[in-house]
Structure 1
Amino acid sequence: MKSFGGPVLFLDRSDINTDEIIPAKYLTEITKEDLKPYLLEDLKLPGFDPKSDKTRNAGVIVSRANFGCGSSREHAPWVFEVNGQYVVIAQSFARIFRQNMFNCGMAAIELPADKIDLLFSFANAADAKISVDVAGQILTVTGAGRKESISFEMSPFDKALVLAGGWVDYADQKY
């Protein structure tokens, strides 16, 4: 079973596209595992290192609006999945990226800008963590001695996909 939570990687930018998540030159790799070392390789943000322990050890990604825009490729959620990052939280997602997350049994959580800002207020906490209760539709962020809980919306079908482990597991259970 996937764990929905862990240390947080804050990516403070809108419009992070699928080429930045997993560069197109790696789309010929044969397995998901082959994608693992290339996570966020082309993302340019001040102070960001795609090879850092902070990036590799994150369990949750927090970003701004229009996350996963660009080419519609399953490889973008796959590279998060193979790195154990099963939750992406953003103000909005590109439609296909968002659905690919749910299809893989991962949570794409949309929050309004003020709640995203609240999460980013934890960005300087070295111990920032987020735990997500998908069934209860609530996430809890902790760090630097602070704690906040935020409810979120998820359609019943998308929640069922996440809780089942993805579309294939859901279909195996239902059909």
Structure 2
Amino acid sequence: MQAFTKLNGIVGPVDRVNVDTDAIIPKQFLKRIERTGFGQFLFFEWRFDEEGNVNPNFELNKPRYEGASVLISRVNFGCGSSREHAPWAIMDYGFRCVIAPSFADIFYNNCFKNGILPIVLSEEQVEDLFQRTAAHDGYKLNVDLENKTLTDDYGLVINFDLDEHRRQFLLQGLDDIGLTLKHEDEITAYEQKNAARLFA
């Protein structure tokens, strides 16, 4: 998994509450078994109309948000079903950081397992980010996971909280399997010792 230390990225807004995982990646696109290829279907029913044409009124379709890697949204982001395809789609689209006042628990946990940094801020702080994003074309945030800060070019400084264990997961680029493999030598030694004892 790709490590996350610092990110300087364009902010893309999805100004909606209770964005559920079926909106993030609709169920008809869950037939793939790879983690890649889902980005093209992110927010599909909002990004496209019924004929498959690009919806110019959806925020992320506007040219000013092209290439965005920081996503901001409202309360209870990632609610609904527990599908891990939701963070897969977000990551594949190009977002490495999602900021909201609150997240659904399963989605929040899945973000860390897939190299995405979810940041919880107050509703007032998130509203300020929406205002800044609207006011400045190509608005960018500097996300510093090492120091747990958010800054911009207009004087913003926000400190955010994050569980240290999860922070280290992202800084080192580890998922659950990667964490286990850090102890590969000890596991191998144990297995060899145990096999020798069983078959002695």
TM-score (ref. length: structure 2): 0.77
Q: What one-letter code is carried by the residue in structure 2 that aligns with 1:127? A: G
- Give the gaps of 5 or more residues in structure 1: none
Larger radius of gyration: 2
Residue pair 1:18, 1:69 contacting (<8 A) in 2 also = yes
More helix by share: 2
Q: Indicate the residue corresponding to 2:163 in structure 1.
A: 155
Q: Which amino acid aligns with 1:59?
A: S
The answer for the alignment partner of 1:36 in structure 2 is 39
Range that drifts further, 82-91 or 158-167: 158-167
In angstroms, what is the RMSD of aligned CA positions? 2.2
Higher strand content, 1 or 2: 1
Determine the structure 2 residue equivalent to 1:115: 125
* Counterpart for residue 169 of structure 1: 178
**Structure 2 residue 138 is the aligned partner of structure 1 residue 127:** yes
The answer (yes or no) to whether the contact 1:18–1:76 under 8 Å persists in 2 is yes
Match of 2:148 among 133, 137, 140: 137
Query: What percent of counterpart residues are identical?
Result: 33
Q: Counterpart of 1:21?
A: 24
- Rounded to whole Å, the distance in 1 between the matches of 2:40 and 2:64 is 14
Work out the CA distance in 2 between the residues paired with 1:174 and 1:46. 50
* Number of matched pairs: 172
1:29–1:13 Cα change, 3 Å: same
CA shift digits 1:38-75 (9 cap, x unpaired): 11112379921655555551100001100000110110
Deviations 1:95-150 (A, max 9, x none): 000000011121000001111111111122212011211111101134xxx23111
Letter in 2 for 1:6: G
- Equivalent in the alignment of 2:87: 77
Query: In the alignment, is residue 95 of structure 1 matched against residue 105 of structure 2?
Result: yes
Is the partner of 1:16 in helix, strand or coil?
coil
Greater Cα offset, 54-63 or 108-117: 54-63
Normalised by the length of structure 1, the TM-score is 0.87
Gapped regions of structure 2 (runs ≥ 5) = 48-54, 185-200
Give the structure, 1 or 2, with the largest relative contact order (CA under 8 Å, sep 6 or more). Answer: 2
